[in-house]
């Protein structure tokens, strides 16, 4: 069973839009997930613009991948390194701790993640 950063069972991040490396709504991972899609983020305009500038356009619809594009307020499993880059650039989006995979703690401390947790996550 996958665990979240609080050591509890991982809760789904989003089914609308459906997210996750496995497109199962959860920020689960395995060895094939080279991007490590671990952080359940609530994306905002500042982050979406940052991600686009970094070469990962999450806004433009890509129907060939059944991807409608994200809008501010959507919840999405982000790669931990991209979230950490956004943190360093002062544009990290808020996150849901209960839906963020425990392996995120290998890159970012729980204390830092808690600073970006939504109110229902704390």
Q: Using CA atoms, how far apart are residues 73 and 76, in angstroms rounded to an integer?
A: 9
Percent over 90 (pLDDT), the chain: 90
Residue 122's pLDDT is: 42
- Asked whether the beta carbons of 74 and 13 are under 8 A apart, the reply is no
The pLDDT value given to residue 66: 79
How far is residue 86 from each of residues 32, 54, 55, 65, 110, measured CA to CA in Å? 24, 10, 13, 25, 17
1-122 CATH: 3.30.56.110
- Name the pTM for this structure: 0.93
* pLDDT over 60 at 121, yes or no: no
Each residue's pLDDT tens digit, 31-87: 999 999 999 999 999 999 999 999 999 999 998 887 899 999 999 999 999 999 999
* pLDDT(29) > 60: yes
Secondary structure (3-state) at 50: helix
Q: Which of 86, 90, 95 is nearest to 118 (CA)?
A: 95
Structure confidence at residue 120 (pLDDT) = 58
């Amino acid at each position: 069973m996958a665990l979240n950063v609080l050591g509890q069972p991982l809760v789904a991040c989003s089914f609308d839009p459906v997210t996750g490396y496995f497109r199962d709504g959860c920020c689960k991972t395995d060895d094939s997930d080279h991007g490590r899609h671990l952080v359940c983020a609530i994306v905002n305009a500042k982050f979406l613009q940052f991600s686009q500038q970094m070469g990962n356009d999450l806004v433009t619809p890509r129907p060939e991948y059944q991807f409608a594009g994200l809008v501010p307020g959507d919840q999405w499993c982000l790669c931990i390194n991209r979230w950490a880059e956004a943190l360093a650039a002062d544009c990290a989006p808020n996150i849901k701790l209960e839906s963020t995979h425990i392996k995120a703690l290998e890159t970012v401390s729980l204390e830092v993640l808690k600073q970006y947790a939504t109110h229902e996550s704390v």
